[in-house]
Structure 1
Amino acid sequence: MRKRNFIILLIALISATTFTYAQSDATAKAILAGVSKKYRSYDVIKADFTYSIKNPQANISESQAGTMYAKSKLNKYNIAIANQQLISDGKVQWTYLKQDNEVQLNEIDNSSTALNPAQIFTIYEKGFKYIYLGETTISGRKYQNIELAPLQTRSFSKIKLRIDKVNKQISNIVVNDKNGNVYTYFIKAFTPNIKVSDAVFSFDAKKYPGVDVVDLR
C-alpha cells in the first residue's frame, strides 16, 4: 500500500496553470520564475529519479527508483516505478498495476485547479507561499533552497526545493506530511528535448496479454 501512496503523493504535490506569488519573497519569486521559464521552453523531458519515505516513529524507511517522460504543454506523461506505471495522453490516465496485470482508466481533469504529474517541475506555481532559505554548495555545485507552504489545507505541511543555480533545474524535493512522513525525491538525471514517439503517452493493452481493464470514467 505504501508503494501506491508514493505515486499518489507525487500527483497530489503537482500544480499546473498560472503563477501565484502571494505572501512570497522577491528572491524566491525570481528564482522560481527562472526555473519555470527554462522548463517550459522544453518539448519532452526525461527524468530519472529516486524517492524515499522515512518515518522513524512508525519504523518506516523505504526507497525506490523511477523514470518519467513529460510533455507539459500537452499534459502528457509516462511515469514508471517499481510495480506501477502512470500514463496519460492529456485526456485519459492509465494506471497500470504490474503485479495484478490490471490497468485502471480515469479521465484527466484539465480545469485550472487540476493536479497533473506533467507539471512536476512547476509544482510551486499555484497555491503556495514560499521563502528563500539561502544557498548551499554540494560537491562543488551551488544550489538555491526554497521552502513552500500551502495556502490551503493539504495532506502535507511543507515542501523544500533544492535548485541547481547554474542549470535552473530542481534537483531535490523534500515533502513533510501531517502524519510525520518525510518524502524525498532526488532527480538523478534530467534530459531536455528528448525525442520519443507519441506512443509513449498512451497505453496499448495488446502489449499486455490478459490485462484486466477497469474503466472508471
Structure 2
Amino acid sequence: MRIKRVCLCLLVLLMAISVCKAQTDPKAKAILSAVSKKYQSFSAIKSDFSYVLDNPQENIKSFKQSGTIIANPKTNKFRITIYELLGGKKSIGQEIISDGKTQWTYAKKDNEVQVNDADNKSQTLNPAQIFTIYEKGYKYLFSGEVKQQGVIYQQIELTPTDSKKPFFKIRLLVNKAKSSIYSAVIFDKNGSRYTYLLTSPATDYKGTDTIFGFNKKNYPGVEVVDLR
C-alpha cells in the first residue's frame, strides 16, 4: 500500500534536526544546531503528527492522516501509530514497529501483522533516525522568515546530494522563538507533495523498550504473516 510506505519512509524527515556535514549555509546550520541541542539528551523521542498527501498522478488530493511516533535513534528502534476515525471516535488503524532487527506492520482492519527484517541500510529513511538524518547527504539553505497566525518561522530548503532519492527537496519551517520544527514539506519527483506537522512538542519518552516490540498477546486472534 503506497500510503503505508509513505508514512514509514517520509515521516522521519519531519523531525530531523541534527546538523548536516555536507555543503551548508551557515545561517541554516546555526538554526538546525539550536533545534538539535534541545533534544540531544533524549533517550527516546515522542511526538504527535498530522500528514497530508497531494498526489495528482493518482488523483489523490489532501489525503489526511494523524498519528504518534516514538523513536530511539541510537538503536534504530521506533513505533509509529496511525489513527483513523470510526463512528466519530479516534482509534488505532495501523502500527509500524521496529526493534532494530525485526519490523512489524499491523493493520487493525485485517487483524494481520506482517513481519520483515528491519532495513537499516543507509539508503533507507528510517524513522528511528529522526535526529541524525541530516548528518550527511544533504545541502541546506536558509530562505527567509515567514509569519503564520502571529508566529515567526524560519524557512530552510534542503536538497539531497544523492540523485537517486525519490524526492528532490524538503522545506522546513522552524519556530524561531522555540527552536523547534513546526512542519516539513517533501517534494517527490513524481509530482506528489507530502506535508507533515508536529501537532505536539517532541518530548523525552521515559518508557521501557518493550514499546518497540510486537506482543501477540495484546492482539487477540491476529494473523501473523512472516515475510522474512
Q: Name the TM tier (shorter chain).
A: 0.7 to 0.9
Whether 1:66 and 2:76 are equivalent positions in the alignment is: no
2:103 corresponds to 1:93: yes
Equivalent residue number for residue 108 of structure 1? 118
Structure 1 position 5, deviation (Å): 3.4
Give the number of the structure whose residues are more often helix, by fraction.
1
Letter of the structure 2 residue corresponding to residue 7 of structure 1: C
Compared CA separation, residues 15 and 173, structure 1 to 2 (3 A): closer
- The count of corresponding residues between Structure 1 and Structure 2 is 216
Task: Using the TM superposition, name which of 181-190 and 196-205 deviates more.
Answer: 196-205
Contact 1:45 / 1:190 at 8 angstroms: preserved in 2? no
**Matching residue of 2:86:** none
What are the equivalent positions in structure 2 for 1:136-215 lying under 5 Å apart?
Answer: 136-153=146-163, 154-215=165-226
What is the rounded CA distance, in whole Å, between the counterparts of 1:141 and 1:41 in structure 2? 27
**CA deviations over 1:59-86 (Å, ceiling 9, x no partner):** 3221111111122222221101133211
Is the 2:51–2:65 Cα contact (8 Å) retained in structure 1? yes
Distance 2:121 2:53 in 1: 30
TM-score, structure 2 normalization: 0.83
Separation in structure 1 between the aligned mates of residue 153 and residue 15 of structure 2, nearest angstrom: 23
C-alpha separation in 1, matches of 2:198 and 2:19: 23
For residue 123 of structure 1, the aligned residue among 113, 129, 133 is 133
In structure 2, how many angstroms separate the alpha carbons of the residues matched to 1:59 and 1:192? 36
Matched residue SS, 2:74: helix
Farther off after superposition, 205-214 or 60-69: 205-214
- Once the two structures are overlaid, the 10-residue window that deviates more, 34-43 or 110-119, is 110-119
Q: Percent identity?
A: 51
| 3-state SS in 2 of match to 1:190 | coil
What displacement does 1:92 show?
1.9
TM-score by length of 1: 0.86
Are residues 131 and 41 of structure 1, via their aligned partners in 2, closer, same or farther at CA, if it must alter by over 3 Å? Answer: same
Counterpart amino acid of residue 155 in structure 1: P
SS of the residue aligned with 1:73?
coil
Shift of 1:171: 1.2
Displacement, 1:109? 4.2
Partner amino acid, structure 2, of 1:29: K
**Structure 2: how far apart are the matches of 1:120 and 1:133?**
22
Structure 1 residue 117 displacement after superposition: 0.4
Structure 2: how far apart are the matches of 1:74 and 1:161?
A: 25
* Deviations 1:33-60, CA, capped at 9 Å, x for gaps: 2222322221222211100011346532
Classify the secondary structure of the residue corresponding to 1:74: coil
Deviation at 1:20, TM superposition (A): 4.1
What amino acid is the match of 2:24? Answer: S
Q: What secondary structure, in the 3-state scheme, does the structure 1 residue paired with 2:162 have?
A: coil
Give unpaired runs (5+ residues) of structure 1. none
Residue ranges of structure 2 left out of the alignment (5+ in a row): 84-92
Deviation at 1:125, TM superposition (A): 2.5
CA distance in 2, matches of 1:163, 1:19: 14
**Following the alignment from structure 2 to structure 1, what is the Cα–Cα distance between the partners of residues 225 and 203?**
34
Partner of 1:28: 28
Alignment partner, residue 43 of structure 1: 43
